[in-house]
Amino acid sequence: MNSQYGRLHNLFDQNFLEYSSYVIRERAIPDIHDGLKPVQRRILQTLFNMDDGRFHKVANVVGETMKLHPHGDASIFSALVNLANKEYLIERQGNFGNIYTGDQASAARYIECRLTPMAREILFNKELTEFVDSYDGRMLEPVTLPAKIPLLLLLGADGIAVGMATKIMPHNFCELLEAQIRILHNEEVTLYPDFQKKGLVDVSQYDHGNGRIRCRARIEELNDKTIIIKDIPHGTNTQSLIESVEKAAKTGKIKILSINDYTAEEVEVEINLARGVYAKETIEALYAFTDCEVAITPNLTLIKDNTPLTCTVEEVLEHNTRKLVLDLTRELQIDLDRLQEKLHARLLEQIFIEERLYKNIEEETSYKAVIKSVDGALQPFTGELLRAVTNEDIERLLEIRIKRISRYDINKQQKEIKEIRADIKTISHHLKDMVGYTINFLGALLKKYGHLYPRQTELCEFEEVSARNAALANLVVNYQRTTGFLGSNIKAEDDKPDFSLNCSEYDRLLLIFNDGMYKVIPVTDKLFVGHELAWIGVIKEGLIFNVLYRDGQENLTYAKRFTTPKFILDKEYRLFPEDKRSRILLLLMGEGASAHVSLAPSPRAKSNIMEVYFDDYLLKNPNAKGKRISPRVVRKVTDSTGKAPVKLQKQNMTLPGLVEAARDETPQGEKAEEGRDKE
């Protein structure tokens, strides 16, 4: 039983490894050498095999590609459309969809395509291409194409394999070639993505092909009530963007009147705003709550030497540049060998005809003797030739027709030989300085095609939009002291709420209780907080709290000032030690606050009234004890107007009735001290 289980386990392991390896290498992850996935490579090779300068039906191209690609026609068609819409390698005719709106391409039988001139120039060379049998052995397909530009970084790639994925950002054509030239000059390079859909991109966290980037739509303010979206972020289209805007509007994050899509060749999405809402504040909300801003996490994973590898942009570019130098060297060497063979053949022909060596074969009776005769006749001229004469050379000479010999033009032949020698000299010169030749080659490509591919995306650094700051205050939080409930679902039926506060779902509420306890909570639908709530407000940085409180143990009153406290959500904190007799007498917000304090009468005191100016006290921690305002018992506290602070304001929410005890009641300790003063 165990042995059978072991064999089955090994079978699954082996099959899974083979499957995962196949998916990684043959489907999802591009190769570093030509930057293409297998399906893209097979499409381009098929287009090259079919190329006659005219357009081909995409359906025919898909059918021909299936001879090389072992998967269905749908995947081939999808890959061809995506490759064609990048506008570098495949020229389109017909409706290939719209990358801005997300509209699909027409059926394959209605649209046509062919290779672009640049693709013909930089992708194919049979002498440099290694071919292997196709999946059924009927045809040959390339292992990789000898691409002369870094297609991996130019096109970008997305793919999900078994246990890994890749997300490579596209880059600008001109910047890539200029960076290669700088690499050949031994200079450092830094590259950033460029997207067809334009827009804005923040690359401050871009880590050489990895890391994180943020893409934004370009939004223009037509007027206070109208917003125009001109460009959209990478990975989105106007349909998905509009859906995200409508979703944000339904959830109350933004308020719009209507949204219209006028996109055709250029993006144009018009947003009309509702009454009371203005463009400036809405633009920030669009970045915070919709696909007008998207975060992308690039992952530069590729195949190198049949092994998955994570690299940087600069490493890929340096590899492609070294490979370009080697490929151009091989091309030049092949051209040099071809020219040298051509020159050798022309020199043999010139000697054979001008020296009339063909006359020596007239008396020979056998083919073997003819070969020997010509070989012997050529021996005195071997110094003029590039290499030794072979039987194949002699056979080519014997195939020259009498008509051609009779019309032989010595001057024309001399001119052609001179041109061939000049070409050989030029190539030999290039081979001695391949770096300079490669730089000139890249410069020629830039001059020829660079004007077609300007940078589309604007590089900039933009601040993070806080969802909390951009959110609309679309919730009303009510509190009823009689029930002790707080929340956005508290409805005023018989009793009016003690207060109402407008806030957003992202806000955090600070609750300060009469006994000195405080905590921070998220905005809630309904929560029981009790009847002793002293203050509530949206917590913000820089708030200043001015507090007068009675210490129950000492029966004395202290004043303290503190700013917005640090907190952990839903955790309880205290402004002063817990005691059933301790309580807040007065809580005021901001600078310039003051209080009018009535003290217990004393015959030794000149006055029983004092003013407390909170600005005279230092800002300290919320848990600091504060400073005692008087050694005497406090009987009554009012604000600077002489009234208890019962009016509710958005950031000064002292609740009615909570200072009543301090104003109207005298504690037992205070009565005892008052009796001693009378004695």
Which residues are catalytically annotated?
A: 110
For residue 58, give the nearest of 85, 102, 93 by alpha carbon: 93
Query: CA-to-CA distance for 145 and 48, rounded, in angstroms?
Result: 11
Q: Where are the beta strands (DSSP E) in 151-306?
A: 157-160, 165-168, 200-202, 206-207, 210-211, 213-216, 218-223, 226-231, 256-261, 269-273, 293-296, 301-304
- Reading the block at residue 482, the tokens are 């009689």
Query: CA-to-CA distance for 156 and 154, rounded, in angstroms?
Result: 6
Query: CA-to-CA distance for 125 and 503, rounded, in angstroms?
Result: 67
Query: CA-to-CA distance for 531 and 505, rounded, in angstroms?
Result: 24
- The full length of the chain comes to 679
Residue whose structure tokens are 């996109």: 263
Q: Where are the beta strands (DSSP E) in 468-516?
A: 475-480, 485-487, 499-503, 508-513
Query: CA-to-CA distance for 300 and 208, rounded, in angstroms?
Result: 9
Q: Count the helices and strands in the chain (H runs, E runs).
A: 18, 35
Sheet with 533-538, edge to edge strand ranges: 533-538, 508-513, 517-522, 573-574
Query: CA-to-CA distance for 248 and 372, rounded, in angstroms?
Result: 93
Residue whose structure tokens are 């739509």: 217
Query: CA-to-CA distance for 355 and 371, rounded, in angstroms?
Result: 17
Please state, as a whole number, how many other Cβ atoms lie within 10 Å of the Cβ of residue 656: 14
Query: CA-to-CA distance for 330 and 563, rounded, in angstroms?
Result: 73
How far out from the chain centre does Cα 551 lie?
57
> Could you tell me if 504 and 468 are in contact, meaning their C-beta atoms sit under 8 angstroms apart?
yes
For 376, left (φ over 0), alpha (ψ -120 to 50), or beta?
Answer: alpha
> Could you tell me if 216 and 201 are in contact, meaning their C-beta atoms sit under 8 angstroms apart?
yes
- Reading the block at residue 92, the tokens are 């389109």
β-bridge mates for residue 493, sequence order:
none
Encode 618-628: b = buried (16+ Cβ within 10 Å), e = exposed: eeeebeeebee
